[in-house]
Structure 1
Amino acid sequence: MSNTEVIALLDEIERHPDAVRVRERTHELLDGAERIVDVGCGGGRAVHELGARAIGVDHDPATIAVARARYPAARFQVADAHALPFPDASLDGYRAERVIHTLDAPRALAEARRVLRPGGRLVLAGHDWDLFAVDSGLPEVTRRVVHARADQIADPRAARKAHHLLREAGFTDVATEILSTVITGPEGLPVVLNLAKDQEGEEIAAWCDDQRRRAAEGRLFLAVPVFVTSGQVIG
């Protein structure tokens, strides 16, 4: 999937009311933080919403270019989540949404703890790639599609592990809550079809055709639990 396609897919997801609710919850959990880094900021929507107190970082220069073009008043920087360009104890908040599954989580969390000051808060939001619920006339194929897609991800179950990973990284006051994303409109079709990425065969083609028909007939159904995990640095 090209960078343009990835950004378009993220835009579709981020506009959904359930995704807005997740994003707003992460902002609430960072209430009072005066300097926040949004790691894996993508197209920059959350940085724009957080305002002048936020800076967005992403490892991909093309993605940062898109974010800067969309939100010229906001701050963005190309950076690696495992080596952030901030001094020790210099930030009040750390936010990462739909990112932790792409990272070396222990290294990234150690880096987050380094840049957060005592009292600083970290908030992660993400889904578990094994837990996509898709209605289909081919349920056995759905199981294979979902798990095969999970196997393509660096750490597909990072979101369910985040609670204990934060504790192991030295964060306190760790809490996890679950918010759901339910998509029943045709806008969910690109998300569903993305689950079949790089999978081939007659059954996969039939499964994708089934999803296209469901979307056209108003019968598409996708549900995804989103784990929101937060923690605090104690000096």
Structure 2
Amino acid sequence: MLAPGGRVVLVGQDWESFIIDSGDPDLTRTIVTARASVVVSPRVARGYRNLLLDNGFTDVTVEVRTVVFVDALMVPMLSGLAENARAAGAVTREQADGWIAEQTHRGRNDRLMLALPLFFAAAATPSSRGQ
């Protein structure tokens, strides 16, 4: 329960907005889209502002902070994205394996780049609801 005049904060990512450096941007987009397609409400974060406004909140602000990963620690997560896309039939085994090999090579050679935008929305409840 949020008291009148209280503040709420929503934090989330847009699952279609993964930014991954790759020699095959079309395949990368397919892999990212395949992952987003199995997430419940994958685009909800981009709608936080309207969600809050439509529900009577005031003083709504939205910021985006981007987290950047450049080391090999992210290779297992990226591999999982490709494997999930393969399991969903969005890419072939050969495409997934090739993409994973590229990302693994990038990770081993300090060339990996993954950026994840996070949306932060804050708002206040009206001081008296229903009036």
CA distance in 2, matches of 1:197, 1:156: 19
Is the counterpart of residue 196 in structure 1 residue 82 in structure 2? yes
Deviation of 1:188 (Å): 2.0
Deviation of 1:197 (Å): 4.4
Give the total of aligned pairs.
121
Deviation of 1:217 (Å): 1.2
Letter in 2 for 1:213: H
Could you state the TM-score of these two structures normalised by the residue count of structure 2?
A: 0.86
Alignment of 1:5-24 (within 5 A): none
CA distance in 2, matches of 1:229, 1:190: 30
Deviation of 1:194 (Å): 3.2
CA distance in 2, matches of 1:129, 1:219: 23
Match of 2:105 in 1: 213
**Aligned-partner SS, 1:146:** helix
CA distance in 2, matches of 1:178, 1:125: 10
State, as a whole percentage, how many aligned pairs show the same letter.
39
Is the counterpart of residue 232 in structure 1 residue 124 in structure 2? yes
Match of 2:9 in 1: 123
**Aligned-partner SS, 1:219:** coil
What is the aligned counterpart of 1:179 among 59, 65, 71? 65
Match of 2:115 in 1: 223
RMSD value over aligned CA atoms?
A: 1.3
Letter in 2 for 1:132: F
Could you state the TM-score of these two structures normalised by the residue count of structure 1?
A: 0.49
Letter in 1 for 2:120: V
Is contact 1:149–1:197 with CA below 8 Å preserved after alignment?
Answer: no
Match of 2:89 in 1: none
Letter in 2 for 1:226: L
5+ long unaligned stretches in structure 1: 1-114
CA gap of 1:122–1:134, structure 2 versus 1, over 3 A, is same
CA gap of 1:205–1:132, structure 2 versus 1, over 3 A, is same
Letter in 2 for 1:218: D
Letter in 2 for 1:159: A
| Structure 1 residues 138-189: Cα deviation after superposition (integer angstroms, max 9, x where no partner) | 2211010011111111111100001100111221111101111111111222
Runs of 4 or more off by more than 4 Å in structure 1? Answer: none
Letter in 1 for 2:108: A
CA distance in 2, matches of 1:194, 1:126: 20
**Aligned-partner SS, 1:195:** helix
Alignment of 1:32-43 (within 5 A): none
Match of 1:151 in 2: 37
